[in-house]
Amino acid sequence: MSIGSTSAESGRNGYLDLDGDGERSPYPAGFGLDFRRIWVLLRRNALIIAGIVTVAAIIGLIATLLMQPTYIAEASVQIEQETDRVLESQSVEPVAAYQDADRFLQTQTDILRSRAMSRRVAQALNLLDANSFFEAMGTEPPEEIPGMTLQQAKRDAVVDLLLENLLISLPQDSRLVTIGFRSPNPRLAARIANTYATEFIRSNLERKFESSSYARDFLSKQLAETKARLEQSEREVNAYARQAGLIRTEDDVEGGSGQQSVTSASLVQLNAAANDAIAARIAAEQKWRSVERTPALSIPDVLANQAIQGLLQQRSERTAALQQELERHRESHPTVLQLRAQIGEVNSQIDTLAAGIRSSIYNQYQSALLRERSLIAEVGQSKGARLAEQDRGVRFNILAREADTNRTLYDGLLQRFKEVSAAAGISSNNISIVDEAEQPTEPDSPKLPLNLALSILIGLAAALGIVFIREQLDDAIRAPEDVETKLSATTLGIIPAVDERPIDQLSDPRSPVSEAYNALRTALLYSTSEGLPASMFVTSSQASEGKSTTSLAIAVGLAKLGKKVVLIDTDLRRPAMHILLGLPNGLGLSDLLTSTQSLSAALRPTSHENLSFVSSGPVPPSPTELLGGMRFPEIVAELEADFDAVVIDGPPVLGLADAPIVAGIAAGTVFVVEANRGHRGGTKSAMRRLRSARASILGVVLTKFDNRKAGSDYGNYGNDYYSYGHHQD
């Protein structure tokens, strides 16, 4: 087996077999990105890419110029959770906790995006029933929808249009909300943005007023009922005192008691004191029971303590400082440890003070309990002497306490009613306008640089996709690397394309064509393990690819090395070698195949030393039968015995059987492919036919190669490839 075929076989390792013919595909198995090949493809298709990108940029430019410009006007409002307190308690609405600030702010932005807010804006600007708004927004008014009047459809369309072009922005860690509106009319955009801000504030005030109005109505009803009960209880007290004959002084009336004598007065005083003690004990007990199992920092008295508030403030400051230190230092850092110790000390002080306050509440309860028991004991001791008077005073005291209770409830409701009424008249608001929207002077869209950039990117992506598809569909043999990847064959030589006939340049030993064929000759000398094959068949897949010129150049090149060479023209259909050599096509191969004439009679000397020639002879009626007979192998064997090299110029493969027959007889086959003309499918099919005839393909000669058009790495050599030394600087 020849070196060429061996290298071709070994080159299949690690490649995908896509054709199912045992030959490697153009792409290695498990291949990755080949940046060199990508660069070659981009350079080869540079004009296509540039054209597509240019067209995309022009389309983007035209589309941008045809777009209607839109403007965005922005107003900003500040939203606070609480307003300035003019009164001690001026709002009946619950105040959101500061830990819930994000949800509160998100709720406010959702209110801004609500349909109700857009409907308020539309009503404020008289947009619901006018078609001018649709004209200003560059849209058509809606048509009547089944089940809905035209007016309803128009109002819904106005609200939808407002919501579609409303832009609400709430930056993180900020209470400043930006209200933007997009419109083709800059003046309208500014008006709508400002109206959204003012209507948002007005809506907030209305909600506050409505909630306080409901509270006032409720308090007014409760106040009237409590007042009636108070008047009734006071009338009952007076009626009972008159009926029982109890005479009360002014102080007695205010104290809710009345006596007939000093004894009864003393009993009443003791009884009143006992009642007060009971009430005080009940209040103290209730207070103690309410805080007995309550965490210290949840007790109102603890939280109201100035010292506790100061310590809580210190703990918050030290905790904040500790968090800052932890962001910069580790747990073991002295500053972190010191802050933790300080926080622990503050917590200890808070716990101590809180425990003291809890203990004082308990002591108050015990004191009230002792006082109650003491007064009850004194009343019990005086009970026998003053029992009659006490019986008359019990009913009076009950009625008096009921009147006092009603009076206390009435006073509380009256005070709260006054506060709510006063708060309703104060227009305090937690939302304020920071910046009003101004009429924009420049459109926000379309943005020409952005659109052009996107158009260029889209064009580039489309161009790359087209180039990729084009390259996948393009199986032309353009460059030497295509011979290796697409044909799975060895490149023996690269013959450059020239303006004149290549055969004319063979006479100049320093011409690019001569240098290229010299390189081919050298490759053939080492193409097999034994060196130069005894006989070489030169063919191609189709006509006019340069096989005859290549045959002559190989023969002449070997003859110049001093080898005895014979050149045979086996193209019995369209012979041309005798024309290249300037010899007559007399007695030739067809005569030798159809007669018993000796081989020496057909051998002709040429103008080249050591080179003999056997012409094709007359064109026979059936070249395939002549070449397939027993005579032709004998002629080749006889020439191999008499000459150092036998060069056979054969017909192209095409769809005929001539070339495979000759290739099976010759020791080696040189396959000629014209650059940019030969295609992978047809060329591989031709080479497969030769291999099926047991031909040993030495390699491929790429003819008419123009490095400027190939787009391959060979183009890096420029136009002076194979021209080193032709001129001096």
Question: What whole-number distance in Å separates Cα of residue 301 and Cα of residue 313?
Answer: 17
Mapping DSSP to helix (H, G, I), strand (E, B) and coil, where does residue 235 land? helix
Answer whether residue 555 shows pLDDT above 70: yes
Rounded to 5 degrees, φ, ψ at 632 are -65, -45
Answer whether residue 212 shows pLDDT above 70: no
Q: Which residue has the tokens 């304020």?
A: 432
**Per-residue pLDDT reduced to its tens digit, 585-620:** 888 888 888 887 888 888 999 988 999 999 988 888
Tokens read off for 549:
């010129």
**Per-residue pLDDT reduced to its tens digit, 106-133:** 888 898 889 998 888 988 888 877 778 8
Rounded to 5 degrees, φ, ψ at 82 are -130, 155
Q: Are 564 and 556 in contact (CB under 8 A)?
A: no
> Of the given ranges (242-246, 666-670, 723-727), which has the lowest mean pLDDT?
723-727
* pLDDT-above-70 percentage for the chain: 79
pLDDT at residue 27, as a whole number: 45
Please say whether the structural domain 3-13+475-717 has been given the CATH code 3.40.50.300: yes
Nearest Cα to Cα of residue 169 among 159, 177, 161? 177
Q: Are 154 and 128 in contact (CB under 8 A)?
A: yes
Averaged confidence pLDDT in the chain: 77
Give ∠ CA 523-527-530 in degrees, rounded to 5: 130
Burial (0-12, 13-18, 19+ Cβ within 10 Å), 359:
exposed
> Of the given ranges (289-293, 361-365, 491-495, 553-557), which has the lowest mean pLDDT?
289-293
Answer whether residue 272 shows pLDDT above 80: yes
Question: What whole-number distance in Å separates Cα of residue 212 and Cα of residue 416?
Answer: 12
Please, which pLDDT band fits residue 263 given cuts at 50, 70 and 90?
Answer: low
Q: Are 492 and 700 in contact (CB under 8 A)?
A: yes
**Per-residue pLDDT reduced to its tens digit, 615-627:** 988 888 888 888 8
Kindly list the distances between the CA atom of residue 395 and the CA atoms of 106, 275, 717, in Å, as whole numbers in the listed order. Answer: 60, 13, 127
Q: Please, where are the H alpha helices in 67-185?
A: 101-112, 115-124, 132-136, 150-164
Please, which pLDDT band fits residue 18 given cuts at 50, 70 and 90?
Answer: very low
Contacts of 87 (CB under 8 A, 6+ apart): 419, 422, 423, 426
Nearest Cα to Cα of residue 125 among 70, 204, 191? 191
Q: Which parts of 360-445 are beta strand (E)?
A: 431-435
Answer whether residue 678 shows pLDDT above 60: no
Question: What whole-number distance in Å separates Cα of residue 448 and Cα of residue 475?
Answer: 41
Please, which pLDDT band fits residue 696 given cuts at 50, 70 and 90?
Answer: confident
More confident residue, 448 or 51: 51
Answer whether residue 15 shows pLDDT above 50: no
Answer whether residue 5 shows pLDDT above 50: no
- What is the DSSP code (8-state) at residue 144? P
- What is the DSSP code (8-state) at residue 295? -
> Of the given ranges (142-156, 245-259, 427-441), which has the lowest mean pLDDT?
245-259
Please, which pLDDT band fits residue 728 given cuts at 50, 70 and 90?
Answer: very low
Q: Which residue has the tokens 């064959």?
A: 489
pLDDT at residue 11, as a whole number: 39
Query: What's the predicted TM-score (pTM) here?
Result: 0.46
Please, which pLDDT band fits residue 19 given cuts at 50, 70 and 90?
Answer: very low
Question: What whole-number distance in Å separates Cα of residue 124 and Cα of residue 126?
Answer: 6
Please, which pLDDT band fits residue 536 given cuts at 50, 70 and 90?
Answer: very high
310-317 contacts, C-beta under 8 A, 24 or more apart: 311/346, 311/349, 311/350, 311/353, 312/350, 314/346, 315/343, 315/346, 315/347, 315/350
**Per-residue pLDDT reduced to its tens digit, 59-112:** 888 887 777 788 888 898 888 876 555 445 444 454 455 567 788 888 888 988
Answer whether residue 259 shows pLDDT above 50: no
Answer whether residue 21 shows pLDDT above 70: no
Across-strand partners of 493?
A: 701
Answer whether residue 396 shows pLDDT above 80: no
- Average pLDDT of span 320-333: 81
Tokens read off for 498:
């020239």
Domain chopping of the chain, boundaries: 3-13+475-717, 35-67+446-473, 246-429
Answer whether residue 723 shows pLDDT above 60: no
> Of the given ranges (111-115, 284-288, 647-651), which has the lowest mean pLDDT?
284-288
pLDDT at residue 9, as a whole number: 39
Q: Directed axis angle between helix 680-692 and helix 658-665, to 10°?
A: 50
